[in-house]
Amino acid sequence: MQHLTALHVSGPTFEHHREPLGIGESAPRLSWTTVTDLPGWTQAGYEIEICDADGTVLTATGRVESAESVLVPWPGDALGSRERRGARVRVHGRDGSSGDWSEWTWAETGLLEAADWRAKAAGPPAELLGPPDGPALLLRRDFTLRAPIARARLYVTAHGVYEAELNGQVVGDDVLAPGWTSYTYRLRYRTHDVTALLRQGANTIGAALADGWHRGKVGFYGGATGVYGDRTAFVAQLEITYEDGTTDLVTTDEHWRCAPGPVTAASLYNGEKYDARLLPGGWSSPGFDDGAWRPADVLAHDPSRLVAPTGPPVRRIEILRPRKTLTGPAGETILDFGQNVSGRLRIRVQGPAGHTVTLRHAEVLENGGLSLRPLRQAAATDAYTLRGDDAPEEWEPRFTLHGFRYAQIDDWPGQLGEGDVEAVVCHTDMRPVGSFSCSDPDLTRLHENVVWSLRGNYVDLPTDCPQRDERLGWTGDIQVFAPTAAFLYDCAGPLTSWLADLAAEQTALGTVPHYVPWVPLLPAEPAAAWGDAAVIVPWVLYERFGDLGVLRAQYASMKAWVDEIAALAGEGHLWDKGFQFGDWLDPAAPPDDPFKARTDSALVATAYHAWTARIVADTADLLGHAADAARYAELAAAVRRAFVREFVTPSGRLACDTQTAYALALHLDLLDTPAQRERAGRRLVELVAADGHHIGTGFVGTPLVCDALVAVGAYDTAYELLTQRECPSWLYPVTMGATTIWERWDSMLPDGTVNPGEMTSFNHYALGAVADFLHRTVAGLAPAAPGYRRLRVAPRPGGGLTGADASLETPYGPASVSWTRTESTMTITATVPPGATAEIVPPWPDAVAQEVGSGTHTFTGSYRSPDLDRG
Ligand code: BGC
């Protein structure tokens, strides 16, 4: 039977790309979503057509009997470099429905082979470079195009950070390109369509180039410089196709010229100094006389490590106006942007030539002035020296980034006007996909703070913090936060790149280092919960995005990590040797000793070892490696037995009587008998109560403790913990006016002073990992099958909440759950995307779990609410 109702299918996406120009995959997997109001619709089959740049169909699959619509294998021939393809799809439902063809969507490959790269690396001569974090230098070259242009592509990267210009115009809108990867093994290039920026005749290409992560200072303890080399360079390959079909090539080579520019110092941590008087007007346009410029040096570079991006670049995402202008204790002008962000300021200033305005940044105030101590050695100070124009001059630094809510503006000429200073929020331009809110404004604000901490800490890679002399890809932080990140933003592409770096570093170092990219400031040695990111992060991407490919790509790395730890643990299967971070930043740890957790680090490490061995067993199974699956399942069982032997009493008490120990044992299913589980559950409840329903966990226990409580039915205790407002708790920072998640439970002490410890950031997402619990259990929207192909809708009210909702753009389309309740009834509304199903498990006593298909479903039950009765 043919339905007449519309069946609309989106144009297919290629891999995880939103902007598929210059992709690196020669056989990009395709995904689509179907929009229909046919209830319970599921796909029975699809057809895909692939065409070339002229629209000639090259591949037509015909009808493929398959329900798959997420990351479906590329049906066409493998693509070579610079190939452009269109794709469209048509779907057929199990109910006999058929849709029309989707729109065509397009992708174009970048340079897939090292041999495609003709560009040399053109670097400023050593004499111009200065010490690390010195001036940004300008590079340029004139060239002539002999005929009208049909199309042009710029393939571009740098050793350093760059901004490219063509004929006086900045190319693209990337910030801090090429971002930070493990440059020794993988350096990303970008592909830009620059057709509109070129013209027949005289043209100029140029770049401003700063040290960035390549040569500038990175890391703590004074940091390291020159991590990837002591010379910076620009690598650009401009490929022009004329209307007559002939081509031309302009590349970085010995014909480029170099000179200092207006940026007299550029440091990721310390800030940027810009003297507008030093800008050589028209330097990136034809006709500029570069006779006095120096020839660039051609430097060695290895095109085989150049890779295309798998996700979006860092961009300017949002502009914030100051909320308040404050006066500091010494009369300083301090702007409060009302939100802690990563980014920088944009100023509009008019004044005498040579006058310098200074901009300082901080996350919090102390005694009315900027609190700078938490920045450690990051000066976070920008300075702009005016040209002295008749009109206002506009400036935003380009080669630095700060984590801040407050900015102190020194030496502003005249009166600071409204709109003269704005904050430009910068981070990876990922697509926001998930949201959450509930009837408790503080919990909703906590969630908003989590979102802002993800935004502040996804600046090209998942970092620990955006403000102090660190900003590293700490593995433990993203390990605990990955499920939350995957709900809030489409981070599959960016994390795929980071995992490739992780695997590359792991291969070279023989272990998963504490942060990726690796900078050797510490010994490279394994640490539980940190190195375990190698296994858990790919698994989370599989679970949340349905991407089996990432498991395939990371499989060797996942196995190598578990093998390494198995060898270290030896026959006893206890990981009780060597360095550990343990339950880092346990609230009981003193400010100067964040390691000093109450939970034995051997218990933490062994629990993680059991967990990741099991994930590798499951992964092996999915990938069809039967022998591996059996081997790792046996290892996981052996580690679990060792855990029980060493840390669990027969009655279910643990050797460490801490929230984290019980959370691990319960959540990771490390107890043997139901009786042990029951006893452990009771003990966890007792411990939380004994702590006055204050949080008692650090990085490791925090993401698990509410889940563990819920797993033993202790909803009330979970909610007591969740809605606690005294320190330490999730909501304490909210009561203190926090707008991001803090590194410590008490980064700011109740008296408003800043914690005296070294580790006192106000923007660290790790402790915000509880947001995943808000999504899955408070709102009730959880994945029950990879990619949310099956949802588990099981909201569990408590804490006096009268309603909550969560929505998520799943790979199958939009899903949502919202619920409201009174003293005696509860109503749940769930939307399930086409092609997916949901298991609905209402909390009311007589509820029967039921399975539903796509569409919007409402359930009402009578529900006594003890926590509401209590008022
Ligand atoms: C970072 C953390 C990181 C930790 C290692 C800190 O300096 O900021 O977030 O995971 O070191 O324990």
The string of pLDDT tens digits covering residues 679-698 is 999 999 999 999 999 999 99
Last residue of a domain, one of 77, 109, 141: 109
Give pLDDT tens digits for 806-854: 999 999 999 999 999 998 999 999 999 999 999 999 999 888 899 999 9
Are the beta carbons of 242 and 248 closer than 8 angstroms? yes
Averaged pLDDT, 481-494: 98
What's the pTM? 0.97
pLDDT grade, residue 2 (50/70/90)? Answer: very low
Distance CA 680, CA 677 (A): 5
Distance CA 753, CA 750 (A): 7
Cα 474 to averaged position of ligand 1 atoms, centre (Å): 6
Query: Which ligand 1 atom is at minimum distance from the Cα of 475?
Result: 10
Distance CA 680, CA 676 (A): 6
CATH number at residue 15: 2.60.40.10
Are the beta carbons of 559 and 613 closer than 8 angstroms? no
**Protein residue with least CA distance to atom 8, ligand 1:** 464
743 is catalytic: yes
Q: Is residue 160 part of a domain?
A: yes
Whether the predicted pLDDT of 1 surpasses 50: no
> In 10 A of CB 94, how many CB atoms?
12
Percent over 90 (pLDDT), the chain: 95
Mean pLDDT for the chain overall = 96
Distance CA 349, CA 394 (A): 6
Give pLDDT tens digits for 407-429: 999 999 999 998 999 999 999 99
Of 95-99, 590-594, 600-604, 816-820, give the lowest mean pLDDT range.
590-594
Give pLDDT tens digits for 359-410: 999 999 999 999 999 999 999 999 999 999 999 999 999 999 999 999 999 9
Query: Which ligand 1 atom is at minimum distance from the Cα of 585?
Result: 12
Query: Which ligand 1 atom is at minimum distance from the Cα of 530?
Result: 10
Distance CA 364, CA 370 (A): 6
Distance CA 831, CA 837 (A): 10
Cα 540 to averaged position of ligand 1 atoms, centre (Å): 21
Give pLDDT tens digits for 152-192: 999 999 999 999 999 999 999 999 999 999 999 999 999 99
Whether the predicted pLDDT of 504 surpasses 60: yes
Based on the number of CB atoms within 10 Å of its own CB, is 542 exposed (0-12), middle (13-18) or buried (19 or more)? buried
Are the beta carbons of 14 and 110 closer than 8 angstroms? no
Do residues 88 and 130 share a domain? no
Query: Which ligand 1 atom is at minimum distance from the Cα of 581?
Result: 12
Distance CA 284, CA 207 (A): 8
Cα 509 to averaged position of ligand 1 atoms, centre (Å): 20
Closest CA to 397 of 267, 300, 495: 267
**DSSP 3-state of 468:** coil
Residue that is written with structure tokens 């999915």 in the block: 622
For 686, residues 6+ apart whose C-beta sits below 8 A from its C-beta are none
Do residues 175 and 303 share a domain? yes
Distance CA 775, CA 266 (A): 41
pLDDT in the model for residue 866: 72
Do residues 101 and 192 share a domain? no
Give pLDDT tens digits for 506-527: 999 999 999 999 999 999 999 9
Last residue of a domain, one of 262, 290, 311: 311
Cis check: omega of the bond before 75, within 30 degrees of 0: no
**Protein residue with least CA distance to atom 4, ligand 1:** 474
Kindly name the residue from 108, 505, 743, 809 that is annotated as catalytic. Answer: 743
Q: How far, rounded to the nearest angstrom, does the alpha carbon of residue 591 sit from its chain's CA centroid?
A: 28
H-assigned helices in 9-72: none
Distance CA 445, CA 685 (A): 26
Closest CA to 318 of 170, 447, 422: 422
How many domains are contained in the chain? Answer: 4
Residue that is written with structure tokens 């034809």 in the block: 286
Give pLDDT tens digits for 291-341: 999 999 999 999 999 999 999 999 999 999 999 999 999 999 999 999 999
For 299, residues 6+ apart whose C-beta sits below 8 A from its C-beta are 120, 121, 122, 123, 159, 231, 233
Distance CA 379, CA 690 (A): 43
Residue that is written with structure tokens 């390549």 in the block: 214
**DSSP 3-state of 138:** strand
Are the beta carbons of 20 and 84 closer than 8 angstroms? no
Cα 780 to averaged position of ligand 1 atoms, centre (Å): 31
Are the beta carbons of 74 and 15 closer than 8 angstroms? no
Do residues 192 and 61 share a domain? no
**DSSP 3-state of 768:** helix
Which residues sit opposite 57 in a β-bridge? 51
Q: What is the bridge-based pairing of β-strands 306-307 and 187-188?
A: parallel
Do residues 21 and 60 share a domain? yes
Q: Is residue 141 part of a domain?
A: yes
Do residues 126 and 178 share a domain? yes
Distance CA 109, CA 273 (A): 38
Q: Is residue 695 part of a domain?
A: no
Cα 5 to averaged position of ligand 1 atoms, centre (Å): 54
Cα 719 to averaged position of ligand 1 atoms, centre (Å): 28
Do residues 363 and 248 share a domain? no
Closest CA to 862 of 817, 823, 805: 823
pLDDT in the model for residue 26: 98
Cα 699 to averaged position of ligand 1 atoms, centre (Å): 10
Are the beta carbons of 607 and 664 closer than 8 angstroms? yes
Averaged pLDDT, 728-756: 96
Which two structure tokens, joined as six digits, stand for 770? Answer: 């509880």
Q: Is residue 517 part of a domain?
A: no
**Protein residue with least CA distance to atom 9, ligand 1:** 464
Percent over 70 (pLDDT), the chain: 99
Phi, psi at residue 678, to the nearest 5°? -65, -45
Three-state secondary structure string covering 237-285: EEEEEECCCCEEEEECCCCCEEEECCEEEEECCCEEEEEHHHCCCCCCC
Last residue of a domain, one of 286, 311, 336: 311
pLDDT grade, residue 5 (50/70/90)? Answer: low
**Protein residue with least CA distance to atom 5, ligand 1:** 581
Cα 126 to averaged position of ligand 1 atoms, centre (Å): 35
Which two structure tokens, joined as six digits, stand for 464? Answer: 């620990």
**Protein residue with least CA distance to atom 11, ligand 1:** 474
Averaged pLDDT, 712-733: 97
Pocket residue to mutate for ligand 1, from 375, 453, 464, most atoms within 8 A of Cβ: 464
Do residues 282 and 137 share a domain? yes
Domain span holding position 349: 315-428
**Protein residue with least CA distance to atom 12, ligand 1:** 581
Query: Which ligand 1 atom is at minimum distance from the Cα of 761?
Result: 8
Phi, psi at residue 655, to the nearest 5°? -60, -25
Which two structure tokens, joined as six digits, stand for 237? Answer: 């390959």
Distance CA 360, CA 332 (A): 11
Distance CA 550, CA 497 (A): 10
243 is catalytic: no
Q: Is residue 472 part of a domain?
A: no
Closest CA to 419 of 358, 318, 355, 347: 347
Phi, psi at residue 488, to the nearest 5°? -80, -40
Q: Is residue 861 part of a domain?
A: yes
Closest CA to 339 of 173, 478, 455, 460: 455
Cβ < 6 Å from ligand 1: which residues? 464-465, 470, 474, 476-477, 581, 584, 759, 764
Residue that is written with structure tokens 């502009």 in the block: 319
Distance CA 617, CA 534 (A): 14
Distance CA 68, CA 85 (A): 21
User: What is the length of the chain?
Assistant: 871
pLDDT in the model for residue 593: 84
Residue that is written with structure tokens 């009808």 in the block: 63
Whether the predicted pLDDT of 4 surpasses 60: no
pLDDT in the model for residue 870: 56
Kindly name the residue from 470, 505, 720, 809 that is annotated as catalytic. Answer: 470
Query: Which ligand 1 atom is at minimum distance from the Cα of 474?
Result: 10
Cis check: omega of the bond before 587, within 30 degrees of 0: no
Whether the predicted pLDDT of 347 surpasses 90: yes
Three-state secondary structure string covering 374-423: HHCCCCCEEEEECCCCCCCEEECCCCCCEEEEEEEEECCCCCCCCCCEEE
Amino acid in the structure at residue 806: A
Do residues 222 and 98 share a domain? no
Do residues 69 and 98 share a domain? yes
Segment (H or E) for 51? strand 43-51
Cα distances from 162 to residues 219, 232, 234, 301, in angstroms, run 21, 10, 8, 16
CATH number at residue 814: 2.60.420.10
DSSP one-letter string for 551-609:
HHHHHHHHHHHHHHHHHHHGGGT---SS----STT-TTS-TT-TT--SS-HHHHHHHHH
CATH number at residue 391: 2.60.120.260
Cα distances from 490 to residues 111, 680, 691, in angstroms, run 25, 37, 37
Distance CA 68, CA 871 (A): 48
Q: Is residue 857 part of a domain?
A: yes
pLDDT grade, residue 864 (50/70/90)? Answer: confident
Cα 482 to averaged position of ligand 1 atoms, centre (Å): 16
pLDDT in the model for residue 584: 86
Are the beta carbons of 41 and 134 closer than 8 angstroms? no
Do residues 138 and 285 share a domain? yes
Q: Is residue 588 part of a domain?
A: no
| Residue 246 backbone zone (phi > 0: left; psi -120 to 50: alpha; other: beta) | beta
**Protein residue with least CA distance to atom 2, ligand 1:** 464
Do residues 159 and 303 share a domain? yes
Are the beta carbons of 456 and 468 closer than 8 angstroms? no
Give pLDDT tens digits for 101-130: 999 999 999 999 999 999 999 999 999 999
